[in-house]
């Protein structure tokens, strides 16, 4: 009893632990091993704490904690409900795996110091920002969470300061700043209209203001979050900036950052602006996001760029579930967000491994990878099929839920979306199958200007000479460091476990969708607490 009651009281630690860890890691920047241990330790403890919070939220529903003891509508409140707890656990688990992968890469490349010493602190700050955004109980704290994670992401994206990264970084920073400004303007206007920024308080007060004003505020928030979530007309920046960053950075960005935008959209739609006023436009946007994204993916030769396009394309599924507006579809969206964080991140990690093994991520220049490294082939195949939504995997389960929500709605627009979702799924399969056929299945000799690294081993396989076997084996373990392969494998397994534990997970998703549609548990968790204390 005591334990479940107090889990929420430690919620601030989900933000503070990574920040303290970052400070410590920054102090220890000359001691690589110590820095690594601090970073990994901070994330492990945070993950344990968040798992506890998830269990607590699952049993007791939404709970809130007031920072500094200020009465709710005025002070900063952190809210944990099923959805935010699930997002916290998934995001931190993914961050931890990617961190291990990055550690493996750092150890293999032997970059002992230099600008890379800023990687660990910046990474922890990123995690803190993501946690803060998920926990935020008021709009301004959500803005601060966004800014924390964005500022850390600016540093991570331009790590090393090469020409390509600076170029990509400028686009990314400017677009992010503009969307943040838009969000801040929306917050200012909401404050002018209602006199509060607390989301639970707003849920009641926004309904009382003029519908026209409501619409303006609603659209402004959606546009601001739409940029961060990379929803179609606002997604142009993502494939431009993500692929240039180092593999682990791209992986964690792809997994987490856009999902924070999606999370904010879901909160806005369910808590602040319930009802279906904007569901029509959202559906059109979802359809366009899916189709434009996947068509862009098909045009790419570079695997990382292709993945960036599938990323924006699959954001469309989440917007689809949100726009459908039923509890069934919302539950599927919650599940799909968790699935997509894990799968997209593992594919980007695999892209990093492919780059190490084959010398490039341009699939026109790759070949023979299935023969050279069967482990890598398996690591690619599972999340790729998962992304395309092939039956036993979680991508299929999530999409099935979304489609059911669409069928239940039954409007012509919903049917169009259903068709669009199916086509997107098929085209995703085509895109990943092309990568499979070229990079893994065909022989390296058939590739355009293949890297010599591929040819030497392919040659060795064709005429098995004992002399060559030595260097190849040695090369393989050096090219694919164990830590990197194992951490990627762990993430792929996590993706598979979403299928295995689909039952309880869907229960959780259903429960959280119900609570979000009802709204009262969230509002009571924040505002109800004060009535006992002193009254409004």
Tell me which residues touch other proteins (CB under 8 A): 74, 140, 144, 147, 151, 154-155, 158, 161-163, 166-171, 173-174, 177-178, 180-181, 184-185, 187-189, 191-192, 197, 240, 243, 298-302, 305, 434, 437, 442-446, 450, 452-453, 455-456, 459, 468, 470-471, 474-475
Q: Count the Cβ atoms, other than its own, within 10 Å of residue 440.
A: 24
What φ, ψ does residue 362 adopt, rounded to 5°?
A: -75, 115
* Exposed / middle / buried, residue 482 (Cβ in 10 Å: 0-12, 13-18, 19+): exposed
Alpha carbons 184 and 141: distance in angstroms, whole number = 11
Alpha carbons 330 and 513: distance in angstroms, whole number = 6
* 301 vs 517, beta carbon nearer other proteins: 301
CB of 86 closer than 8 Å to CB of 511: no
Smallest distance from the beta carbon of 30 to other proteins, in angstroms?
Answer: 22
The C-alpha angle 99, 504, 138, rounded to 5 degrees, equals: 60
Smallest distance from the beta carbon of 170 to other proteins, in angstroms?
Answer: 6
CB of 88 closer than 8 Å to CB of 54: yes
* 302 vs 355, beta carbon nearer other proteins: 302
Q: Which two tokens stand for residue 253?
A: 């960005």
Give the chain's length: 536
Smallest distance from the beta carbon of 202 to other proteins, in angstroms?
Answer: 14
Alpha carbons 305 and 243: distance in angstroms, whole number = 6
Q: Which two tokens stand for residue 174?
A: 């400017």
* 75 vs 274, beta carbon nearer other proteins: 75
Question: Which residues have C-beta within 8 Å of that of residue 8, sequence separation ≥ 6?
Answer: 53, 56, 57, 63, 64, 65, 80
Q: Which two tokens stand for residue 289?
A: 């996001």
CB of 102 closer than 8 Å to CB of 6: no
Smallest distance from the beta carbon of 147 to other proteins, in angstroms?
Answer: 5
Q: Count the Cβ atoms, other than its own, within 10 Å of residue 228.
A: 26
**Range 277-280, long-range pairs (CB < 8 A, 24+ positions):** 277/215, 277/218, 278/218, 278/219, 278/222, 279/323, 279/324, 279/325, 280/323, 280/413
* 181 vs 400, beta carbon nearer other proteins: 181
* 34 vs 189, beta carbon nearer other proteins: 189
* 47 vs 187, beta carbon nearer other proteins: 187
Smallest distance from the beta carbon of 181 to other proteins, in angstroms?
Answer: 5
* 151 vs 483, beta carbon nearer other proteins: 151
- Of 457, 458, 459, the closest CA to residue 474 belongs to 457
CB of 485 closer than 8 Å to CB of 405: no
Give the residues across from 198 on adjacent strands: 138
* 76 vs 94, beta carbon nearer other proteins: 76
Smallest distance from the beta carbon of 37 to other proteins, in angstroms?
Answer: 28
* 243 vs 321, beta carbon nearer other proteins: 243
Chain CA centroid to CA 67, Å? 27
Smallest distance from the beta carbon of 354 to other proteins, in angstroms?
Answer: 17
Alpha carbons 97 and 358: distance in angstroms, whole number = 23
* 86 vs 200, beta carbon nearer other proteins: 200
Smallest distance from the beta carbon of 171 to other proteins, in angstroms?
Answer: 7
Alpha carbons 424 and 447: distance in angstroms, whole number = 28
Smallest distance from the beta carbon of 140 to other proteins, in angstroms?
Answer: 6
3-class SS string, 14-36: HHHHHHHHHHHHHHCCCCHHHHH
* 118 vs 496, beta carbon nearer other proteins: 118
Smallest distance from the beta carbon of 308 to other proteins, in angstroms?
Answer: 11
Smallest distance from the beta carbon of 300 to other proteins, in angstroms?
Answer: 6
Alpha carbons 36 and 269: distance in angstroms, whole number = 40
* 107 vs 144, beta carbon nearer other proteins: 144
Smallest distance from the beta carbon of 294 to other proteins, in angstroms?
Answer: 13
Question: Which residues have C-beta within 8 Å of that of residue 236, sequence separation ≥ 6?
Answer: none
């Amino acid at each position: 009893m005591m334990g479940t009651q107090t889990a929420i009281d430690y919620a601030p630690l989900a933000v503070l632990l990574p920040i303290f860890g970052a400070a410590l890691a920054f102090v220890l920047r000359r001691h690589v091993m110590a820095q690594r241990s601090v970073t990994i330790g901070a994330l492990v403890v945070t993950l344990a704490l968040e798992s506890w919070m998830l269990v607590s939220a699952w049993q007791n529903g939404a709970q809130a904690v007031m920072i500094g003891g200020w009465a709710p509508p005025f002070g900063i409140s952190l809210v944990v409900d099923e959805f935010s707890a699930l997002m916290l656990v998934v995001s931190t688990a993914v961050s931890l795996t990617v961190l291990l992968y990055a550690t493996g890469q750092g150890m293999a490349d032997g970059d002992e110091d230099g600008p890379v010493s800023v990687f660990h602190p910046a990474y922890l700050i990123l995690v803190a920002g993501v946690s803060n955004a998920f926990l935020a109980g008021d709009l301004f704290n959500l803005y601060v969470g966004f800014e924390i994670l964005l500022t850390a992401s600016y540093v991570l994206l331009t790590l090393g300061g090469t020409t390509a990264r600076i170029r990509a970084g400028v686009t990314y920073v400017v677009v992010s700043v503009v969307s943040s400004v838009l969000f801040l303007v929306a917050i200012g206007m909401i404050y002018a209209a209602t006199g509060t920024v607390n989301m639970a308080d707003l849920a009641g007060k926004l309904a009382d203001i003029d519908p026209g004003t409501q619409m303006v505020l609603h659209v402004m928030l959606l546009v601001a979050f739409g940029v961060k979530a990379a929803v179609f007309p606002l997604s142009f920046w993502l494939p431009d900036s993500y692929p240039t960053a180092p593999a682990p950075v791209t992986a964690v960005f792809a997994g987490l950052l856009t999902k924070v935008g999606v999370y904010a959209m879901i909160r806005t739609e369910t808590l602040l602006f319930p009802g279906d006023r904007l569901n029509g436009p959202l559906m059109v946007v979802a359809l366009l996001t899916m189709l434009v994204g996947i068509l862009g993916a098909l045009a790419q030769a570079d695997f990382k760029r292709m993945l960036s396009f599938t990323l924006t394309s699959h954001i469309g599924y989440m917007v689809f579930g949100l726009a459908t507006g039923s509890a069934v579809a919302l539950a599927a969206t919650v599940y799909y967000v968790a699935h997509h964080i894990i799968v997209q991140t593992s594919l980007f990690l695999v892209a990093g491994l492919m780059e190490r093994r084959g010398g490039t991520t341009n699939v026109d220049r790759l070949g023979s990878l299935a023969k050279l490294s069967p482990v890598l082939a398996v690591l690619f195949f599972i999340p790729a099929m998962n992304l395309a939504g092939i039956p036993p995997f979680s991508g299929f389960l999530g999409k099935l839920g979304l489609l059911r929500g669409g069928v239940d709605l039954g409007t012509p627009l919903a049917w169009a979306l259903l068709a669009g979702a199916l086509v997107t799924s098929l085209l995703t399969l085509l895109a990943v199958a092309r990568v499979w056929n070229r990079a893994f299945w065909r022989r390296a000799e058939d590739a355009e200007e293949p890297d010599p690294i591929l040819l030497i081993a392919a040659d060795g396989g064709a005429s098995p000479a004992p002399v060559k076997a030595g260097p190849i084996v040695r090369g393989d373990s050096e090219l694919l460091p164990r830590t990197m392969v194992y951490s990627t494998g762990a993430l792929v397994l996590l993706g598979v476990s979403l299928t295995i534990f689909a039952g309880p997970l869907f229960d959780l998703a259903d429960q959280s969708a119900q609570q979000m549609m009802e709204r009262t548990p969230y509002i009571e968790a924040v505002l109800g607490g004060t009535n006992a204390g002193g009254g409004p």
